[in-house]
């Protein structure tokens, strides 16, 4: 494992070279915060299993050459095969974010399609009214080096019929990118988002994306995140959703790619009768590393949270699941359920799973469970006795385990794309040479 730390001198110089604009105050505040924190290390309990030294090495190179320089779209050639397929197969209004910069053509098209229902603006034009989260080190790093971000607000009492697509696509020529999206879902409105992350080419890249969402009373945010990064990609992502009363937040996360991936999902229940549903599926092979940390804060009750993450690991891959549910004092009527199930296809794959419940209220219903297992031998033999070969039988059983959520997907339009991508990826896992 490479051990390198982020170079704080390079960081300070890069922050100093950022443009003087509306975001300057936010950047300087974030920079001083990050300077005292640095990249998280294994000494931080939340980062015990996930080593960011690869991200630090990529970041150092990037800080030396590119930070603060607006990305030139001229250096990205025509959209690649993967990008075209995805845009064609999922019926959404797409905003394309290349190496952290919003593609203005796609933004204009999308803006027109939604008319008055959704308002899109630059984050730099909204600094007066929204707080940029910088609470954790990676969010602070993101804010300190942010050229700009996207602010999306959905008007009250409106439904956006076509899902909003957000495609993050990165190219190793730029090495690192910071993405920040602030979402405001107005009262009694709903927004469905399908967010996809791709790599334009092979090569070492680091992306650090932060989404902050506030969901007003009786509003609903459905969010599918599909991560299909290249095999040298290091990705850190964080989504924080704050829910007012009767609000709903559905999050379905699919992590199929990347070399090292760390996702943080934080749901804050700040209003009664809010509902949170978190689904995650991670598939890892080879030396992939996928870490999902979730935290649901039940600040008031009654409210419901349901969470289930599933993983399939082959080769020497490693996954981490940490699910925190915190029930605050007085949050009576809380119903919080959480589970994490893992299928290990190889003896060298590893999962570290840790459900954490912290309960300070009296009248609550909470459950959690974690399982780790192999494919059922009796089922394998049954399928083979019907003429299916061993590989097909394994693939079928693995698919059955992994497809659990597809029937209740938050954003229907990506089902077909997701199913075919899942099948393809499972075929890789089942035929992993380290089985």
Partner 1 sequence: MSNMLEIKNLQARIAGNTILNGLTLTVKAGEVHAIMGPNGSGKSTLAQVIAGHADYEVLGGTVTYQGENLLALEPEDRAREGIFLGFQYPVEIPGVNNAYLLKAAVNAKRRHQGLAEIDAFEFLKLARERMSLLEMDASFLNRSVNEGFSGGEKKRNEILQMAMLEPKLAILDETDSGLDIDALKAVANGVNALRDPERAIVLVTHYQRLLDYIEPDYVHVLSKGRIVRSGDKSLALELEEKGYEWIQEAANA
d(CA 125, CA 363): 44
- Of 229 and 310, which CB lies nearer to partner 1 in the complex structure? 310
Task: Name beta bridge partners: 225.
Answer: 195, 253
Residue selected from 328, 392, 428, 435 as contacting partner 1 according to rule CB under 8 A: 392
Q: Using the rule CB under 8 A, give the single segment among 213-221, 243-251, 294-302, 389-397 that binds partner 1.
A: 389-397
Residue selected from 16, 131, 369, 381 as contacting partner 1 according to rule CB under 8 A: 381
* Nearest alpha carbon to residue 399 among 371, 430, 433, 370: 430
Asked whether position 373 contacts partner 1 by CB under 8 A, the answer is no
Q: Using the rule CB under 8 A, give the single segment among 255-263, 282-290, 371-379, 411-419 that binds partner 1.
A: 371-379
276 phi/psi in degrees, rounded to 5: -120, 130
- Of 161 and 400, which CB lies nearer to partner 1 in the complex structure? 400
- Of 81 and 407, which CB lies nearer to partner 1 in the complex structure? 407
CB 195 within 8 A of CB 166: yes
Asked whether position 399 contacts partner 1 by CB under 8 A, the answer is yes
Asked whether position 423 contacts partner 1 by CB under 8 A, the answer is no
- Of 334 and 340, which CB lies nearer to partner 1 in the complex structure? 340
Residue 5 token pair: 């730390």
- Of 44 and 371, which CB lies nearer to partner 1 in the complex structure? 371
- Of 223 and 341, which CB lies nearer to partner 1 in the complex structure? 341
Question: Which H or E element spans position 424?
Answer: helix 415-430
Among residue numbers 338 through 357, which ones bind partner 1 (CB under 8 A)?
Answer: none
In angstroms, the Cα distances linking 265 to 58, 124, 210, 280, 346 are: 24, 25, 10, 10, 28
In angstroms, the Cα distances linking 329 to 33, 287, 295, 304, 332 are: 30, 42, 17, 16, 8
Asked whether position 419 contacts partner 1 by CB under 8 A, the answer is no
Q: What is the closest distance, in whole angstroms, from the C-beta atom of residue 383 to partner 1 in the complex?
A: 7
Residue selected from 130, 204, 359, 396 as contacting partner 1 according to rule CB under 8 A: 396
Asked whether position 111 contacts partner 1 by CB under 8 A, the answer is no
Q: DSSP string covering 136-195, please?
A: SHHHHHHHHT-S--EEEEEPTT-B--SPEEEEEEE-TTT-EEEEEEEEEE-TT-EEEEEE
- CB atoms near residue 81 (< 10 Å): 7
Binding residues (CB under 8 A) for partner 1: these are 376, 378-379, 381-390, 392-393, 396-397, 399-401, 403-404
């Amino acid at each position: 494992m490479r051990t390198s730390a982020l170079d704080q001198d390079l960081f300070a110089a890069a922050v100093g070279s950022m443009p003087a604009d509306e975001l300057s105050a936010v950047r300087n505040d974030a920079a001083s915060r990050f300077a005292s924190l640095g990249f998280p290390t294994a000494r931080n309990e939340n980062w015990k299993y996930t080593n960011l030294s690869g991200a630090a090495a990529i970041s150092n190179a990037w800080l030396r050459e590119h930070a603060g320089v607006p990305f030139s779209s001229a250096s990205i050639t025509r959209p690649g095969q993967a990008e075209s397929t995805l845009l064609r197969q999922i019926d959404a209004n797409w905003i394309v974010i290349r190496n952290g910069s919003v593609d203005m053509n796609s933004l204009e098209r999308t803006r027109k399609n939604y008319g008055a229902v959704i308002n899109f603006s630059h984050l730099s034009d909204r600094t007066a009214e929204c707080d940029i989260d910088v609470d954790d080190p990676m969010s602070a790093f993101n804010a300190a080096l942010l050229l700009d971000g996207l602010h999306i607000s959905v008007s009250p009492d409106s439904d956006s019929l076509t899902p909003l697509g957000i495609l993050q696509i990165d190219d190793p020529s730029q090495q690192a990118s910071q993405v920040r999206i602030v979402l405001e879902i107005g009262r009694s409105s709903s927004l469905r988002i399908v967010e996809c992350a791709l790599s334009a080419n092979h090569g070492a890249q680091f992306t650090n994306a932060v989404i902050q969402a506030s969901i007003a009373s009786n509003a609903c945010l459905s969010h599918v995140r599909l991560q299909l990064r290249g095999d040298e990609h290091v990705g850190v992502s964080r989504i924080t959703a704050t829910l007012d009363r009767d609000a709903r937040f559905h999050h379905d996360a699919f992590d199929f790619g990347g070399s090292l991936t760390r996702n943080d999902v934080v749901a804050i229940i700040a209003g009664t009768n809010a509902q949170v549903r978190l689904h995650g599926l991670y598939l890892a092979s080879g030396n992939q590393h996928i870490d999902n940390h979730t935290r649901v804060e039940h600040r008031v009750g009654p409210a419901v949270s349901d969470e289930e993450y599933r993983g399939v690991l082959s080769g020497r891959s490693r996954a981490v699941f940490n699910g925190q549910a915190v029930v605050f004092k007085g949050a009576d009527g809380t119903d919080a359920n959480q589970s994490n199930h893992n299928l290990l296809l190889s003896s060298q794959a590893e999962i570290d799973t840790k459900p954490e419940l912290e309960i300070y209220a009296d009248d609550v219903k909470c459950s959690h469970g974690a399982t780790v297992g192999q494919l059922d031998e009796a089922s394998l033999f049954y399928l083979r006795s019907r003429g299916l070969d061993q590989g097909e039988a394994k693939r079928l059983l693995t698919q059955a385990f992994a497809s659990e959520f597809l029937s209740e997907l938050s954003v229907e339009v990506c089902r077909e794309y997701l199913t075919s991508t899942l099948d393809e990826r499972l075929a890789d896992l089942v035929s992993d040479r380290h089985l």
